[in-house]
């Protein structure tokens, strides 16, 4: 939703892993906290500033299950956006229609269910 993106970013990820008791060495649990920010400080590329608040720090947390298989690890995680922007909480079609019509997006219905994100990763993990 940020039309021009950004020229700078900073991010972090903190993760805690532990074996899943009783299921053997191939199963584990993980919990995480992620955060980051993307911004543009060059005024030539700032079209009216940051009216949607997309250049602040955003954070998410979550937990999941790890499974070691003969072909590599499989990770299933459920994450929760701690401080989502308004564009995270509204439907994309509604946002597009509001932008096209010139109506404020603050009037759009917000869905807290959009805070949740499921992730499935197959392959090497860090």
**Per-residue pLDDT tens over the stretch 26-57:** 999 999 999 999 888 777 766 666 666 677 89
Long-range contacts of 34-39 (CB under 8 A, 24+ apart): 34/59, 34/60, 34/61, 34/79, 35/11, 35/59, 35/60, 36/9, 36/10, 36/11, 36/12, 37/9, 37/10, 37/11, 38/2, 38/5, 38/6, 38/8, 38/9, 39/6, 39/7, 39/8, 39/9
Burial annotation 2-13 (CB, 10 A radius, 16+ → b, else e): eeeeeeeeeeee
Average pLDDT, the chain: 85
- Give the pLDDT confidence score for residue 9 in this predicted structure: 85
pLDDT at 59 over 90: yes
> What's this model's pTM, rounded to 2 decimal places?
0.77
Check the CA dihedral 17-19-23-26 and report its sign. Answer: positive
pLDDT at 63 over 80: yes
Categorize the per-residue pLDDT at 2 as very low, low, confident or very high, splitting at 50, 70 and 90: very low
Q: What is the mean pLDDT of residues 115-121?
A: 94
14 vs 1: CA distance, rounded Å: 27
- Other Cβ atoms within 10 Å of 88 Cβ, number: 16
- Give the pLDDT confidence score for residue 120 in this predicted structure: 92
- Give the pLDDT confidence score for residue 1 in this predicted structure: 44
């Amino acid at each position: 939703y940020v039309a021009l993106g950004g020229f700078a970013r900073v991010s972090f990820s903190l993760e805690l892993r532990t074996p899943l008791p009783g299921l053997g060495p191939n199963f584990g649990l993980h919990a995480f906290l992620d955060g980051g920010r993307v911004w543009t400080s060059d005024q030539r590329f700032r079209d009216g500033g940051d009216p949607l608040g997309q250049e602040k720090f955003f954070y998410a947390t979550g937990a999941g299950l790890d499974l070691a298989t003969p072909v590599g690890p499989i990770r299933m995680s459920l994450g929760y956006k701690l401080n989502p922007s308004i564009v995270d909480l509204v439907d994309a079609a509604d946002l597009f229609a509001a932008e096209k019509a010139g109506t404020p997006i603050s009037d759009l219905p917000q869905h807290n269910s959009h805070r949740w994100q499921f992730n499935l990763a197959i392959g090497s993990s860090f």
